[in-house]
Each structure stands twice: as structure tokens, then as C-alpha cells.
């Protein structure tokens, strides 16, 4: 039986006629390509798609906020960054911080007060005749997705994160674009670094995982890479940069945002109250650059030169690629992967919707051994903390070894 026949036959059996879709968490290049694929594939099988805007907040608002997505609506969005459905990374309706005029409400111990609005959200889906949901998001968003599936809403999750740090899939879309942006940034920064004989620090995202940094370092031929998984030694970092300056007159250091500064307390992260993963990074490269600059200039020769008669003083500068690595046009690889994910999510709902013994259905699209498949959301979100599903760089892995072989230093040995 052909793919199409099987899907049509099973769709009739499953009775899925209307699918809701929402995007949650931080945005990620490729989200629109997923939305487009969902709409196009569903349309092919006569199934309606309802767009739910503003992440889970839209599910709570319900009513007129839900709107039908047609093939015309998704025309020309495959190449657009962001998400036409908008996103939010703070709207966990199972644990929704209460607000008043001053902002969040706190109890007498200063703790946030939470409400649970999940029943209202599920009722809104029922009122709109939505039979099943496609939820595109990272760990936080998919944890709620699992919880809605436990409430009887059939859910297929589509994993997304530029950080590529989910254990339950070999790859997520957005990562390729993020790395490409970072590599472009290094190329721009390198020439100005060479012109001024400076050490250039380029900070990239990734939270507690160094995948973006490691891939960027290898692809751009950096001198040093600092990642959270391999703690660096400050003195070794300075010694390595001294060597590189003596040899090349300039150096490139890729810094993953989640690394620690040289001294405790020298840098503080930002806490976003009400967010499932409250810690925000950003800025550590500037602190490290200042420390390194002082250290390189502190150790001068008898003429007072830091490195040589040309490099009398060393200057370090830091650049944060920041949100430029998350926005803009997705790469062709990410568009392809997003389209595969979106279409597979629809197929999963139409072809394979078989509730478990508790009557629930919760799956997540995943790549395993380079093939598309689906895994149980219960298994993906096995731990109540998001760290449980995190895949970090393996310090003994092939890419770390490759980096070392091509003389990229981790400043650890
Ligand atoms: O998880 C994706 C990510 O872009 C991280 O790399 C980064 O630390 C974080 O999100 C930034 O979050 P926000 O958009 O809330 O500032």
C-alpha cells in the first residue's frame, strides 16, 4: 500500500479533522518552514490546521486568537526567520505566575504565586474543534506538551533549539543556521583583528552546552575554544594566546556563553522571573577578554614590550554574536530538516494515532541514526528537571579530538 493510501485510510479511522499548531520557547530559524510543511501536508489529506499564536498564552486566550492557516497563509514563509505564530518562553499554564499592577505577585516569603490554567486551555481547544496538537518547542515547551497529552489531548512535539542539546534527537533545526551565522561573524572579526594585531573573543550561544562553539571553532579555524564541558585554566589560556600572538600576530577565541569567568563573582547572569529555565547568559567573553588583556600586558620583557617590538601592548576585544545567530534567513539544511519534521509530525497524527493504555497519545519527532522516527514524550521528558534531557559535548568525542588535532586549544592542557 502506498504511503498516501495508508495515511488516508488511517485518517478516516482516527477521525482527525482539525490540527492545532503552536510554537513555544525561544525562536529558532526554521520554525516557519515547519509551520508551512504542516499546513501543506495536512491540506493534502483534507485536514484543517488552526494556528495558535503567542505560544501557550494563545491557548489560554482561545476564541478569536485561534485562526485557520491556509496554503496561501504559508506562501513564501519557508525562507523567513522568526515564527508567523509568535512565541513565548514564559507561559507554562500549569504553573502560571500570578500578576498584579506591580508585576508578579509574591507570597509572604517572597516566592512567586502560581495558578494552573491548563483546564481552560484544553477547553479552548475543544471549543475550537481541535482534535490534536502539534507543539514546536524545546524542553520547557515539550514538558507542557507531555502534560497536555496526559489530559487527553493527542500531541506530537517537534523539537527545536539552536543549541542542539536535546538527548532525544540527534539533531534539531536552527543549529546549522546558528553555526553559519557565528562562522560568518568570525570571518568579519578576523580581518579587523589582523589589522590591529588584537586577540578577538567571539561569544556564541548554547547555554550549558558547547555545541555551537565547538562547531564554530572547527569551521572557522579558531585558535582557542572555551566550552562549559571542558573547564579552562586561565594561566594556560594566557600562555596559549601569547604563543599564538608570537606566531601569528593575532588570535581568535570562541567563547561559549555558559563558561565561567576567571574569578568568582566577576560576572553575573540574568534571572528571568517566571521562565521555566530562568538563567540567561551573555557577556562573559568581555570579562575574560579584560582579564586576558591585563595578564598579557603584565608580563613584559626588559624593553617593556608585551610580545615583541611590534606588539608592544596587547589589545583584546569581545564581540557577542547574540540574537543575530537566532534570527534571519535559515540555511537550506535547516529548511530541509524543518520541512521533514513538520510533514512527519502530521503523518504521525494521521497515520499512527494510537492512544496508550491510559488513552493518551504523546510523541515527539526525532532523528535516530540519521532517520526520522518518533519517540514517546513520556520518555523524552522522563525527568522533572530539564537537565535530564540535555546532551552536552562529549569531552572524549570525535569533534573534540578533531579540534585538538587541528591545533584548536581548549586551554585545559
Ligand atoms: O536556548 C536557545 C537560546 O538561544 C540560548 O542559546 C540562549 O542562552 C537563550 O536561548 C536566550 O534566551 P532568551 O531568548 O530568553 O534571551
> What's the pLDDT score for residue 8?
75
> What's the pLDDT score for residue 383?
58
The 10s digit of each residue's pLDDT in 350-359 is 988 887 878 8
CATH 3.40.50.460 domain locations along the chain: 178-327+395-405
Contact 11, 350 (CB under 8 A): yes
Query: If you average pLDDT over residues 4-28, what whole number do you get?
Result: 86
Q: Tell the residue nearest (CA) to atom 8 of ligand 1.
A: 207
State the Cα angle at 390 between 115 and 324, rounded to 5°. 85
- Asked whether residue 1 carries a pLDDT value surpassing 90, the answer given is no
Q: How confident is the model at residue 266 (pLDDT cuts 50, 70, 90)?
A: confident
Query: If you average pLDDT over residues 334-355, what whole number do you get?
Result: 94
CATH 3.40.50.450 domain locations along the chain: 3-174+330-382
Q: How far is the CA of 314 from the centre of ligand 1 (A)?
A: 32
Which atom of ligand 1 is nearest to 323's Cα? Answer: 4
pTM (2 d.p.): 0.94
Q: Which of 205, 271, 284 to mutate to test the pocket of ligand 1 (most atoms within 8 A of CB)?
A: 205
Provide the CATH number for the domain formed by 3-174+330-382 in this structure: 3.40.50.450
Q: How far is the CA of 81 from the centre of ligand 1 (A)?
A: 15
Q: How far is the CA of 280 from the centre of ligand 1 (A)?
A: 7
CA 370 to chain centre: 20
Instruction: Return the percentage of the chain with pLDDT > 90, whole number.
Output: 83
Query: If you average pLDDT over residues 96-106, what whole number do you get?
Result: 92
Q: Which of 138, 179, 207 to mutate to test the pocket of ligand 1 (most atoms within 8 A of CB)?
A: 207
Please indicate whether residue 211 or residue 278 has the higher confidence score (pLDDT). 211
Q: How confident is the model at residue 387 (pLDDT cuts 50, 70, 90)?
A: low
Q: Tell the residue nearest (CA) to atom 13 of ligand 1.
A: 26
Q: How far is the CA of 24 from the centre of ligand 1 (A)?
A: 12
3-state SS track over 191-247: HHHHHHCCEEEEEECCCCCCHHHHHHHHHHCCCEEEECCECCCHHHHHHHHHHHHHH
Distance between CA 91 and CA 136 in Å, rounded?
A: 14
- Asked whether residue 349 carries a pLDDT value surpassing 70, the answer given is yes
Which atom of ligand 1 is nearest to 205's Cα? Answer: 6
Q: How far is the CA of 275 from the centre of ligand 1 (A)?
A: 11
3-state SS track over the chain: CCHHHHHHHHHHHHCCCEEEEEECCCCCCCHHHHHHHHHHHHHHCCCEEEECCCCHHHHHHCHHHCEEECCCCCCCCCCCCCCCCCCCCCCCCCCEECEECCEECECCCCCECEECCHHHHHHHHHHCCCCEEEEEECHHHHHHHHHHHHCCCCEEEEEECCCCCECCCCCCECHHHHHHHHHHHHHHHHHHHHHHCCEEEEEECCCCCCHHHHHHHHHHCCCEEEECCECCCHHHHHHHHHHHHHHHCCEEEEEECCCCCCCCCCCCCEECCCCCCCEECCCHHHHHHHHHHHHHHHCCCCCCCCCCCCCCCCCEEEEECHHHHCCCCCCHHHHHHHHHHHHHHHHHHHHHCCCCCCCCCEEEEEEECCEEEEEEHHHHCCCCCHHHHECCCCCCCHHHHHHHHCCCECCCC
Which of 232-246, 268-282, 284-298, 377-391 comes out lowest in average pLDDT? Answer: 377-391
Q: How far is the CA of 56 from the centre of ligand 1 (A)?
A: 18
Which atom of ligand 1 is nearest to 89's Cα? Answer: 15
Based on the residue annotation, tell me whether 235 is a catalytic residue of this protein: no
Q: Which of 139, 163, 176, 223 is catalytic?
A: 163
Give the domain 178-327+395-405 fold. Answer: Rossmann fold (3.40.50)
CB-based pocket (< 6 A), ligand 1: 26, 89, 161-163, 205-207, 257, 280-281, 326
Contact 168, 146 (CB under 8 A): no
- Asked whether residue 384 carries a pLDDT value surpassing 70, the answer given is no
DSSP β-ladder status, 199-204 and 316-320:
parallel
Q: How confident is the model at residue 158 (pLDDT cuts 50, 70, 90)?
A: very high
Q: Which of 136, 256, 280, 322 to mutate to test the pocket of ligand 1 (most atoms within 8 A of CB)?
A: 280
Q: Tell the residue nearest (CA) to atom 10 of ligand 1.
A: 26
Amino acid at each position: 500500500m502506498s504511503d498516501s493510501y495508508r495515511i488516508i485510510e488511517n485518517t478516516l479511522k482516527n477521525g482527525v479533522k482539525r490540527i492545532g499548531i503552536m510554537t513555544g520557547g525561544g525562536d529558532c530559524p526554521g520554525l516557519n518552514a515547519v509551520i508551512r510543511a504542516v499546513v501543506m501536508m495536512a491540506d493534502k489529506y483534507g485536514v484543517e490546521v488552526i494556528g495558535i499564536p503567542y505560544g501557550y498564552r494563545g491557548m489560554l486566550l482561545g476564541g478569536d486568537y485561534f485562526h485557520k492557516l491556509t496554503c496561501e497563509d504559508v506562501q513564501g514563509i519557508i525562507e523567513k526567520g522568526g515564527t508567523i505564530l509568535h512565541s513565548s518562553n514564559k507561559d507554562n499554564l500549569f504553573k502560571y505566575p500570578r500578576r498584579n499592577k506591580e508585576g508578579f505577585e509574591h507570597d509572604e516569603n517572597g516566592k512567586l504565586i502560581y495558578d494552573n490554567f491548563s483546564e481552560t486551555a484544553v477547553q479552548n481547544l475543544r471549543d475550537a474543534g481541535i482534535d490534536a496538537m502539534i507543539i514546536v518547542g524545546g524542553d520547557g515547551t515539550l514538558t507542557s506538551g507531555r502534560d497536555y497529552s496526559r489530559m487527553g489531548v493527542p500531541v506530537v512535539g517537534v523539537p527545536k533549539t539552536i543549541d542542539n542539546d536535546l538527548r532525544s534527537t540527534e539533531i534539531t533545526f536552527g543549529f546549522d543556521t546558528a553555526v553559519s551565522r557565528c562562522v560568518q561573524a568570525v570571518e568579519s572579526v578576523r580581518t579587523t583583528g589582523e589589522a590591529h594585531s588584537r586577540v578577538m573573543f567571539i561569544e556564541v550561544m548554547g547555554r550549558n552546552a558547547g555545541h555551537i562553539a565547538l562547531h564554530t571553532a572547527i569551521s572557522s579555524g579558531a585558535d582557542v575554544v572555551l566550552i562549559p564541558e571542558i573547564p579552562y585554566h586561565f594561566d594556560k589560556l594566557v600562555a596559549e594566546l601569547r604563543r599564538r600572538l608570537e606566531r601569528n600576530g593575532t588570535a581568535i577565541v570562541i567563547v561559549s556563553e555558559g563558561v565561567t569567568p576567571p574569578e568568582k563573582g566577576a560576572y553575573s547572569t540574568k534571572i528571568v522571573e517566571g521562565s521555566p529555565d530562568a538563567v540567561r547568559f551573555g557577556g562573559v567573553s568581555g570579562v575574560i577578554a579584560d582579564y586576558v588583556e591585563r595578564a598579557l600586558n603584565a608580563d613584559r620583557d626588559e624593553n617593556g614590550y608585551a610580545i615583541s617590538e611590534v606588539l608592544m601592548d596587547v589589545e583584546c576585544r569581545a564581540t557577542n554574536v547574540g540574537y543575530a545567530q537566532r534570527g534571519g534567513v535559515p540555511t537550506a539544511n535547516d529548511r530541509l530538516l524543518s520541512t521533514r519534521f513538520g510533514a512527519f509530525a502530521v503523518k504521525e497524527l494521521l497515520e499512527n494515532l494510537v492512544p496508550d493504555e491510559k488513552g493518551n497519545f504523546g510523541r515527539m519527532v526525532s532523528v535516530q541514526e540519521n532517520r526520522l522516527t518518533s519517540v514517546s514524550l513520556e520518555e523524552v521528558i522522563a525527568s522533572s528537571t530539564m537537565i535530564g534531557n540535555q546532551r552536552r559535548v562529549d569531552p572524549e568525542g570525535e569533534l573534540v579530538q578533531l579540534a585538538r588535532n587541528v591545533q584548536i586549544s581548549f586551554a585545559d592542557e
